[in-house]
Homo-oligomer: A and B are copies of this chain.
Amino acid sequence: MKPRKQIPAYRNICELLARRIKSGELRQGDAVSSERDLAAEFGVSLMTARHALQVLTTEGLLSRRPSVGTYVAPAKIHFNKLASFTEEMLARGYKPESRVLSATLTSQNDEVCSKLCLPAGSNLNRMQRLRLTGGEPFSIETCYLSAQRFDGILAQDFELKSLFSIISEVYGVTISYADEEIDATSADPKTARLLKVRPGSPILRIRQLLYGSTTPIIYSTALYRSDRHSLLVRRFR
């Protein structure tokens, strides 16, 4: 009988392989153990080993060739790299600033709960920040995180440290990717005042669901002055 663990067996395999790839022990084009070898090595069934390889494949780390084997995928140039506001501004040579507009608990947002895979009515940390560069307003960002998992996070100083670094250093959670929904909207009076634009001005809205490994961690809505910001994306055929 296997000792029952909290973390699934396939996750352990995933993490081991991911570590080997990220450390450089396994490099682009290298073959990884076959399903059957992995199953034997970890003492799991074929299905479980297979599941691990499948997960890493959809994450883009591995590439499977039927009848041939499983290989470490080419290190993708992530043109569309996910970066925090702080990182992005520093990279462009701006001095990023952040003003916290609010930081409260809420349990009234079932839409966000479901996006974060939390039970409806769960407590959420909600914080709103105004982003500035060179003293000029740039965007308004609203973030939601599980209040249970990130207990006490609202006490942190978000004007000093980025949310990414706090959840990483204090809570041990690393963001790995984000799904973003991008559309256009108009500035309502409050937004207009904060961003110093005329009410009704076009606003670029980016709604992100940020994932740590495979679980959604943060839901965020950002409203950008569209005269100050445009999003660059590279898409492949």
The residues of A with any CB-CB pair to B shorter than 8 Å are: 47, 58, 60, 65-66, 76, 78-83, 114, 117, 174-186, 200-205, 224, 226, 229-237
Contact = CB atoms under 8 A, between A and B. Distances in A.
10 contacts: A175-B237, A176-B236, A178-B234, A183-B226, A184-B185, A184-B203, A184-B204, A184-B226, A185-B202, A185-B226
B80 A233 contact: yes
One complex includes copies of this chain to the number of 2
Contact of A184 (B60, B66, B202): B202
Nearest to A202: B184
A180 B236 contact: no
A60 to B, nearest CB: 8
A80 B232 CA distance: 12
A179 B230 CA distance: 12
A198 B211 CA distance: 37
A82 B236 contact: yes
B230 A79 contact: no
Interface centre among A180, A182, A231 (most CB of B within 10 A): A182
A65 B184 CA distance: 29
Given A81-B235, A81-B237, A184-B202, 16 more contacts: A58-B58, A66-B117, A76-B236, A78-B235, A80-B234, A82-B235, A176-B237, A177-B237, A179-B233, A181-B230, A181-B231, A182-B231, A183-B204, A183-B229, A184-B203, A184-B226
A230 B183 contact: yes
Contacts of A81: 235-237
Contact of A235 (B178, B200, B224): B178
Interface centre among A176, A186, A200, A236 (most CB of B within 10 A): A236
In the A-B complex, the 4 residue pairs with the smallest Cβ-Cβ separation, listed nearest first, are: A184-B184, A183-B230, A184-B226, A184-B202
A82 B201 CA distance: 29
Contact of A233 (B180, B184, B186, B200): B180
A226 B203 CA distance: 11
Contacts of A181: 76, 78, 230-232
